Amino acid sequence: MSLFRYLHECKVASTNQINRDVFVASIVKTRERLQKLRAHGLICAVARDEEVDQCMVYSLTKVSARMLKQIYPEMFLIDRLKSNSINHDLRLNDVKYALTSKTLVTNYWTENILQSSIAVTNNLELSVFRTLQVDALVKLDNKQGGELLCALELEASCKGAAKYERKLKILYSAAQVGVVLYVCMNPEIEQVLKKNELLVSPAGQKKIYYAQYGEVTSKSMPVVFQNQNGFVIEII
């Protein structure tokens, strides 16, 4: 059931990620378990067009989702079992793992939890992030006895200016969102985002903080996000 909850939360996960985050066993034993679950129709293998890592990728089936829903009905406001962007979601799993290992991260909601959890819908503070359809929501301890809710976006490929402009306008129009953490796959994507941010953002403090995917997911401490005003959010 822990595996089913994990796959519902992340939508997809690789064998290595499942081994790291759920079973914490030898990779051989994890493969054996996953093969048995697949043979019984409880998980399914997912095809992808890019090798994030050299192993199988899995998601829930309707059978396992039904089992999970019977035990945790509050998790299924809507049924969202499949990933629309498999490689993007696999990378988000690694971002989640990296950030939730930090002391200052006190909570983390994946996109699927934001969209399908009844508790999120009933929480006015959280529901705005559901409406914005962000990739994740991160709660940080601000070191001063308070907490900070940060929208998180992962940008894995360079898109057209119109799409960036539309997304950034939405983020800036949400007054309840004070900070957006943008994880970029490479410096070129970050520069395109920054250029478009300057076109849509009001003068003064910028709410978007940037970091590179490789830096976020590395084992080094801390993770540093920086905005275009030079302000830094350091997550240790």
Output the tens digit of pLDDT for each of the chain's 236 residues. 999 999 999 999 999 999 999 998 899 999 999 999 999 999 999 987 666 567 899 999 999 999 999 999 999 887 777 888 999 999 999 999 999 999 999 999 999 999 999 999 899 999 999 999 999 999 999 776 789 999 999 999 888 878 888 999 999 999 999 999 999 999 999 999 999 999 999 888 899 999 999 999 998 889 999 999 999 999 99
Predicted structure pTM score: 0.93
Q: Which residue has the tokens 């969209």?
A: 115
CA–CA dist 76, 223 (Å, integer): 33
pLDDT recorded at residue 169? 94
What pLDDT sits at residue 50?
67
Neighbours of 103 (CB within 10 A): 10
Tokens coding 50: 């890019």
pLDDT score, position 178 = 94
Give the E-state strand segments of 42-164 in sequence order.
43-45, 57-60, 105-110, 136-141, 147-155
**Tokens 């996000």 found at:** 225
Contact call for residues 137 and 152 (beta carbons, < 8 A) = yes
All structural domains of the chain, each given as residue ranges with its CATH number in brackets, are 2-82 (1.10.10.10), 88-235 (no CATH)
CB 122 within 8 Å of CB 151: no
